[in-house]
Amino acid sequence: MKRWLLRIAIGFVCIVLLAVVSLFGLHHFERWTAQKARVERSEAIRAYHPSQARVYLYSLDPKFTAVDDSDHFHGYRILGSSEITASDEKAALILSLSNAISHGLYVSMCFEPQHGLRIINDAETVDLVICFSCLQIQPFNFNGNKMFGTAGYPFAAYNAILERHGLPVFKRK
């Protein structure tokens, strides 16, 4: 009788250990695949070379309106926009966002974007609606149009470029 209980106990311990190892391995795999996806998105943005791409920066009102006309960028009212022609500014926009994407986490909260970025390279147009507050990007014609995370540090650089171009920066009331 004692052997039977011992076998059951050993079997139970083995199942518990297997479950713990599987969960740890699954968690590690999920972290690895998430990091791999961030790096792939980052590299895809970085591939839009500033000297070859046309880049437009938008200042947005973060209130979604579901209107899609020339005064709106994917449902957000455009406060101002400019084609960025200086190579150093285009590089700052693209490379800072690329770096932020590689370090970003997906944090779903507000999604009240204040910035938009349009990158045109050859016949391809990529639009990015960016919320540096909740660290999310809603892409169009990129990443299967699935939202993904970013870090918030390009916020100041984006606002500085808006201001250099005489564009309004959204201020919360």
Print the SS3 string covering the chain. Answer: CHHHHHHHHHHHHHHHHHHHHHHHHHHHHHHHHHHHHHHHHHHHHHCCCCCCCEEEEEEEEEEECCCCCCCEECCEEEEEEEEECCHHHHHHHHHHHHHHHHHCECCCCCCCCCEEEEEEECCEEEEEEEECCCCEEEEECCHHHCCEEECCCCHHHHHHHHHHCCCCCCCCC
What is the domain range of residue 154? 1-173
- pLDDT tens digit sequence for 40-63: 888 888 888 888 899 999 999 999
Q: What pLDDT, on the 0 to 100 scale, is given for residue 134? A: 87
Q: What pLDDT, on the 0 to 100 scale, is given for residue 29? A: 47
Counting Cα atoms < 13 Å in the Cβ hemisphere of 58 gives 25
Q: Which residues of the chain have pLDDT under 50?
A: 26-29
Question: Side chain identity at 71, as an amino acid letter?
Answer: D
Q: Which two tokens stand for residue 113?
A: 């974007």
Q: Which of 45, 109, 57, 59 is nearest to 83 (CA)?
A: 57
Between CA 116 and CA 57, with CA 86 as vertex, the angle to 5 degrees is 10
Q: What pLDDT, on the 0 to 100 scale, is given for residue 26? A: 47
CATH number at residue 71: 3.30.1490.410
Domain count for the chain = 1
pTM: 0.79
